[in-house]
Amino acid sequence: MSYSQISPQELLSLKQKNPDLALIDVRTPAEFGEVHVEFAQNMPLDRLDAGQLKANRNGHAGEPLYVVCRSGGRSKMACEKLVAAGFDNIVDVAGGTQACEAAGLPVVRGAKAMSLERQVRIAAGAMVLIGAALGFGVHPGFYGLSAFVGAGLVFAGITDTCAMGMLIAKMPWNQRSSTAATCTR
């Protein structure tokens, strides 16, 4: 089994024909609170429980479940997770919320939040800089911190997973309460 992909324009057309269309946004609650597609429900990737989601779809399990994130990376991971859990009608929204907004889908705007990707770049850069500074000024063993972060970034690039991103997603500043935690469609 696999999942399919749809453009934001196609999603809008389908939503106009089916007001009960189910769209889940797998970004952090803080990112979701900043801007999200009007009819999306927030289910952060790090807390996405496929079994619970399946149970909450009350008779709608055969209908497509659309998945979106910021730009497409996390939604693909969520689609793979859902397909592995036995979902058979999963659709990834190409380009994410950014593409949806550009295509004219209705969005809700809230308080500005820093994207998870930007937080990861700041944390990784700070750790490399600290490791280099401590290696130069305190003890050469601290260069290992910079090497460890570099190796982690290479691993993240190769596997398309990011342990640092998953950890940062769980930080309190990324945990604003989400408006909808269950998908009943």
Do 1 and 79 form a contact (C-beta atoms < 8 A)? no
Q: Which tokens hold the place of 108?
A: 């809700």
User: Contact 169/46 with Cβ under 8 angstroms?
Assistant: yes
Q: Residues 45, 78: contact at Cβ < 8 Å?
A: yes
CA 19 centroid distance within chain: 24
Per-residue pLDDT averaged across 51-67, rounded? Answer: 81
Q: Which residues contact 146 (CB under 8 A, 6 or more apart)?
A: 127, 128, 131, 132, 135
- Catalytic residue (choose from 69, 79, 100, 183): 69
69 has catalytic annotation: yes
pLDDT digits (tens, 9 = 90+) for 93-128: 999 999 999 999 999 998 887 888 889 999 999 999
Q: Is 32 left (phi over 0), alpha (psi -120 to 50) or beta?
A: alpha
Q: In whole angstroms, what is the distance from residue 150 CA to residue 156 CA?
A: 10
Most confident of 41-50, 62-71, 141-150, 175-184: 141-150
Give tens-digit pLDDT for 43-54: 999 889 988 888
Q: How far apart are CA 79 and CA 17, in angstroms?
A: 23
pTM (2 decimals)? 0.70
According to DSSP, residue 108 is labeled: E
* 69 vs 43: CA distance, rounded Å: 10
